């Protein structure tokens, strides 16, 4: 039986919570504020740990900055590559009436008041780790996982 990548990710995150007693933070916008350094990306089609993209094997150092005034900045190799404003949200859905309700947190990005090229990210925060993935908050998606998984570590 093939286990889906997102199911494995969910199990790993659950085990981290239990073993490290890390607290999962809620959707409060204050928790996203700060500087986040890119740690790695697991691509959409993932066969092994060798598939991971990292700063070491890509030559890209990336920082995301979320400010309290709802502005955000993205830097790659110390160069500003994107910026704008953002809003955070929290939502839920059920695949059918009476079914399990899945919850999610999201960030919507804007440039000059208009949705940007990067319109929305689904995310979760586990202590000092920011996880972008459509599969967070218990959302198990059929494979392949759209966009893969991207992790950042909080710097400040």
Domain membership flag for residue 95: yes
Least trusted range by pLDDT, from 13-22, 117-126, 145-154 = 13-22
Which residues form the domain of 17? 5-44+62-154
Question: Which range, of 18-22, 49-53, 65-69, 79-83, averages the lowest pLDDT?
Answer: 18-22
Pair 75, 63: CB distance under 8 Å: yes
Domain count, the chain: 1
Q: Cα-flanking dihedrals φ and ψ of residue 55, to 5°?
A: -60, -35
Within-domain flag for 94: yes
Has residue 19 been placed in a domain?
yes
Query: Phi first, then psi: what are they for 38, rounded to 5°?
Result: -60, 130
The answer to the question of residue 53 being in a domain is no
**What's the pLDDT tens digit per position in 100-144?**
877 788 899 998 888 887 767 888 888 899 988 865 444 444 333
- Tell whether 124 is covered by a domain: yes
Residues paired with residue 112 on neighbouring β-strands, in sequence order: none
- Which residues contact residue 10 at a Cβ distance below 8 angstroms, ignoring those fewer than 6 apart? 135, 138, 140
> Is residue 127 in a domain?
yes
Using DSSP's 3-state secondary structure scheme, residue 48 falls into coil
Is a pLDDT exceeding 60 seen at residue 73?
A: yes
pTM metric for this prediction: 0.71
- Does a structural domain hold residue 50? no
What Cα–Cα distance (Å) separates residue 13 from each residue in 16, 126, 129? 5, 8, 11
- Is 149 contained in some domain? yes
Rounded Cα distance between 48 and 70, Å, is: 37
Q: Which of 52, 49, 51 is nearest to 39 (CA)?
A: 52
């Amino acid at each position: 039986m093939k286990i889906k990548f997102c199911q494995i990710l969910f199990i790993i995150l659950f085990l981290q919570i239990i073993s490290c007693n890390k607290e999962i933070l809620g959707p409060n916008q204050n928790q996203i504020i700060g500087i986040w350094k890119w740690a790695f990306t697991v691509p959409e089609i993932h066969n092994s740990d060798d598939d991971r993209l990292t700063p070491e094997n890509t030559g890209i150092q990336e920082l995301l900055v979320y400010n309290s005034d709802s502005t955000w900045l993205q830097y790659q190799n110390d160069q500003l590559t994107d910026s704008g404003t953002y809003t955070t949200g929290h939502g839920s859905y059920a695949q059918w009436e009476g079914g399990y309700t899945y919850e999610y947190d999201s960030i919507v990005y804007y440039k000059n008041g208009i949705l940007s090229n990067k319109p929305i990210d689904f995310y979760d925060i586990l202590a000092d780790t920011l996880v972008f993935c459509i599969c967070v908050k218990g959302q198990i998606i059929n494979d392949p996982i759209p966009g893969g998984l991207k992790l950042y570590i909080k710097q400040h």
